[in-house]
A and B are shown apart, each in its own frame.
Chain A
Amino acid sequence: MNPIDIATIRKKLGNSADIVFKEFNIQYDNRVQTVNLIYAEGFVDTNAVQDFVLETLMVDLPKLDTDKHPFLDFMTVGDVQELQSTDMMYHDLFSGHVILIREGTEILSIAMSGIKDRAVSEAMTETVSRGPKEAFTENIQTNTALIRRKIKNPNLWLENLRIGKMTQTNVSIMYINGIVTDKIVDEVRSRLARIDIDGILESGYIEELIQDAPYSPFPTVYNSERPDVIAAELLEGKIAILVDGTPHVLVVPALFISFMHSAEDYYQRADISSLIRILRFVGIFIALLGPSLYIAITTFHQEMLPTQLLIGLAAQREGIPFPAFIEALIMEITFEILREAGVRMPRTMGQAMSIVGTLVIGQSAVAAGIVSAAMVIVVSITAISSFVVPAMNMSISIRMIRFLLMGLAASFGLYGIILGIIVLVLHLCSLRTFGVPYMSPFGPYIAQDTKDTLIRLPHWAMRKRLRLINQNNLTRSKDKAPGPERR
């Protein structure tokens, strides 16, 4: 190896002030040698460097019999690696390693990470009333540990990759060997390997790059920030993709139905969670079709309403200057603006907005004769219903499609809505996620896999894994529940 010139390294790093260079002499191999220590400020634990590296080199080394062992052996730190070239050095340097260069020939990379990470805290987006509360953090090592803590099995395999020409982001693929289908793992690997991009700052980048249907409004990659959800998905034979720097872990293949499931469904008793799921599907139905059905019925099919209600509605709509569609559009867009503002706004402003939202938009709009009270009810129910979808990205898709259906309802009534739904279902059926049909187990219908879809059967009844995802290892358990022994 060519002698390493510290000045060149310094120049390559642009003399950046946060990179610390230290040069000192040690007694090794019966002579005085020069050692260069390089680390990035804020990345390493300086106390640890002092205690384990400097102390070893300056205090302990002269006392030891140094000629028999390689330099590497004297490091009193666990994770030490000898690097072959300076190129590999930079990634380590910015991952919290201390780089030690002896005599310009030997490069050691010592893990001394002291980055201040956010502590493991409660999940913000996917909240449950029963079940573990912890969520992933921004640190990929913490995240893998959180998953491993749930699945203590040597078959839980992890593969590391670096993606992003500039950012060199750590990305890991995690799966359970023996459950996962190798074909799908290969597909994930090859798609990740083909990524050519400058930077990966969040798992959303990867999701967008590897998803099956880039032009579909529906997500074909699942994500979660809960370790228990990821562990459950891994146990179903899916593959997790962890990205350093984000608490959102991706899961593929993602079936349509899994976006409708919440972690809590599996922690509550089966009957409760089944009923909650049915409720959720009712909510999704309202979120998707509420305003469009209202528009279609009030505009085209008044005969479908009971007379009393019809008279009431007509009386309300008497002073309204807009057709139902425009009215609905005004209210829906107002709501979307309120929602978006609520997300972006500083927390302290929340109260001000709820006053504006309820009083101004709700009450005054009706009083001013811009929208009818019935429309406010419809839009509010729809808005609330759209939040029963546990997955945020699916909830947004449903909201987007709602606007299309509203347009169809306004122009073609129920006929338009039905044709819209047929197109929607056709589109959903045409999607695939990493080779698995998106709508399975409904289209194609697989009876055995429907046990955990619209309802959830008890754990003792779900003794088989999903057939299309786990092609070779289907049996989850063989025996029924160990209830009281029957005599």
Chain B
Amino acid sequence: MLEKGKISHRQLTVLSLLYTIGTSILIVPSIMSVFSRQDGWIACLVGVVADITIIFIYSALSSRYPKLSFVEYSEKILGKWLGKAVSLFFMSFIFLLSAFLLRVVGNFMTTHIMPNTPIEVTIILFILVVIYAVRLGLETTARAGEIFLPFVIVLFLFLTVFLLPQIKIDRIEPFLEEGFKPVILGAFYYFNLQEQVILLMLVPYSNRPDKARNALLVGTSIGSLIIIVTVLLSTLVLGTEFTQRNMYASYTLAKQISVGNFLQRVEAMLAILWLITIFFKTAVCMYALSLGTAQTLQLKDYRTLTLPFGLLLVFLSLIVYDNIVSFISFTPKVFSLYATIFMVIIPVLLLSIDTLRASLKKEQSS
């Protein structure tokens, strides 16, 4: 076993919750309003339903091999070479995703918080912290997650409560103006931003892998709820047009808070909340990447991979897209299709092949 630590059922829930909030809380509102306009929250809701459905497939897959990670059982199911190829392909997806996450951090920080600091510095600083977390192991990261969770929830509730006075209900009307098509499209894009499949790398290290489905479901549901509320609030407070124009709509949203004349300019709170959640998302990805690669290549320790991967990620994140404009068009149009391969097609294939083989074996033996 490469990972000796064990995380509890609750810790898995917390990690999947933070993972779900991840980047989404900042970038989803804008994307949703671009595609589904004022029905973004319905699109999110549909996306969440899809998310939860796919988690059932994931858990069906992982419950067949409760002691193994995604990478390990793909080798079991598909045989050594094909399995390794699929694993490495899967790793490339996580690698690319991590680079995107890093770039999003860099972009947000350089545009909103630290405009005079070069993006390279913010990215390097961030990846150093992530590497530190991954090297300390899953147990430590999960515990840190438990400690940060109350802060995330409190900050979120704080922002929500103080935005309530600015809501104008008519901004989400009319419902389903252009029928279901834009909603379904939005739902598809939303679904592909939640890369829950990567959590399958953590499931075998929870102390009750048989109950992992519960943990993933609860974590994802609460996390999604937070995102849906954010999307809803963006539309209700900022309106569709304004949300569309703001890449980081929820940050702009937090800027609207003004209670009396003293509680203003609290958008830093949202930045803190988001930094914490994206940290956990990146840490989980980085962890899955190092552990998965080490398992595929049968290395003795996954920690040695963190530094080289970190270095590569820094450079990849700088060239992964040219500018914001290409990011906005790339994420929904290309990345979501690319992600679908790993989020839906590969797990479904693995599950069906394994079920087929199991039933064949049963027939042979009987």
| Among B113, B141, B148, contact of A415 (Cβ-Cβ < 8 Å) | B113
| Among B121, B132, B275, contact of A418 (Cβ-Cβ < 8 Å) | B275
Q: What string of 1s and 0s marks CB contacts (under 8 Å) between B100-143 and chain A?
A: 00000000010001100100011001100100110011001111
A128 to B342 alpha-carbon distance, docked (Å): 61
The answer to whether A444 touches B143, judged by C-beta atoms less than 8 angstroms apart, is yes
> Is chain B's interface secondary structure helix, strand, loop, or mixed overall?
helix
Which of A57-65, A136-144, A200-208, A300-308 sits within the interface?
A300-308
At the interface, yes or no: A88 with Cβ under 8 Å from chain B? no
The answer to whether B143 touches A414, judged by C-beta atoms less than 8 angstroms apart, is no
List the A residue with the shortest CB-CB distance to B136.
A430
Known: A304-B268, A415-B109, A429-B136. 17 other contacts (CB 8 A): A300-B113, A306-B262, A414-B113, A414-B272, A415-B114, A416-B125, A425-B144, A425-B147, A426-B133, A426-B136, A426-B141, A426-B144, A429-B144, A430-B136, A439-B143, A444-B142, A445-B10
Cβ of A412: which chain B residues have Cβ within 8 Å of it? 114, 117, 121-122, 125
The answer to whether B132 touches A413, judged by C-beta atoms less than 8 angstroms apart, is no
Which residues does A use to contact B, with CB under 8 Å? Answer: 300-301, 303-306, 412-416, 418-419, 422-423, 425-427, 429-430, 437, 439, 442-445
A437 to B146 alpha-carbon distance, docked (Å): 13
Also in contact, A444 and B141, with CB within 8 A (given A306-B264, A413-B113): no
A sample of 9 cross-chain residue pairs with beta-carbon separation below 8 angstroms, ordered by A number, consists of A304-B265, A305-B265, A415-B109, A416-B125, A422-B144, A422-B148, A425-B144, A425-B148, A439-B143
A220 to B264 alpha-carbon distance, docked (Å): 41
The answer to whether B144 touches A415, judged by C-beta atoms less than 8 angstroms apart, is no
The answer to whether A444 touches B122, judged by C-beta atoms less than 8 angstroms apart, is no
List the A residue with the shortest CB-CB distance to B145.
A443
At the interface, yes or no: B26 with Cβ under 8 Å from chain A? no
Which residues does B use to contact A, with CB under 8 Å? Answer: 8, 10-11, 109, 113-114, 117, 121-122, 125-126, 129, 132-133, 136-137, 140-148, 262, 264-265, 268, 271-272, 275-276, 279
Also in contact, A445 and B146, with CB within 8 A (given A419-B125, A426-B140, A430-B136): yes
List the B residue with the shortest CB-CB distance to A304.
B265
Cβ of B125: which chain A residues have Cβ within 8 Å of it? 412, 415-416, 419
Cβ of A445: which chain B residues have Cβ within 8 Å of it? 10, 146
The answer to whether B140 touches A301, judged by C-beta atoms less than 8 angstroms apart, is no
CB distance from B298 to the nearest CB of A (A): 27
The answer to whether B272 touches A437, judged by C-beta atoms less than 8 angstroms apart, is no
Cβ of B109: which chain A residues have Cβ within 8 Å of it? 415
The answer to whether A429 touches B113, judged by C-beta atoms less than 8 angstroms apart, is no
A429 to B272 alpha-carbon distance, docked (Å): 20
CB distance from A416 to the nearest CB of B (A): 7
A429 to B146 alpha-carbon distance, docked (Å): 10
Also in contact, A443 and B143, with CB within 8 A (given A414-B113, A426-B132): yes
Cβ of B113: which chain A residues have Cβ within 8 Å of it? 300-301, 413-415
| Among B8, B114, B265, B275, contact of A413 (Cβ-Cβ < 8 Å) | B114
The answer to whether A442 touches B129, judged by C-beta atoms less than 8 angstroms apart, is no
The answer to whether B143 touches A303, judged by C-beta atoms less than 8 angstroms apart, is no
CB distance from A297 to the nearest CB of B (A): 9
| Among B10, B11, B143, B279, contact of A422 (Cβ-Cβ < 8 Å) | B279
The answer to whether B133 touches A444, judged by C-beta atoms less than 8 angstroms apart, is no
A415 to B276 alpha-carbon distance, docked (Å): 11
A442 to B151 alpha-carbon distance, docked (Å): 12
A413 to B271 alpha-carbon distance, docked (Å): 13
The answer to whether B129 touches A422, judged by C-beta atoms less than 8 angstroms apart, is yes
CB distance from B165 to the nearest CB of A (A): 20
| Among A416, A419, A442, contact of B146 (Cβ-Cβ < 8 Å) | A442
Also in contact, A429 and B147, with CB within 8 A (given A412-B114, A422-B279): yes
Cβ of B265: which chain A residues have Cβ within 8 Å of it? 303-306
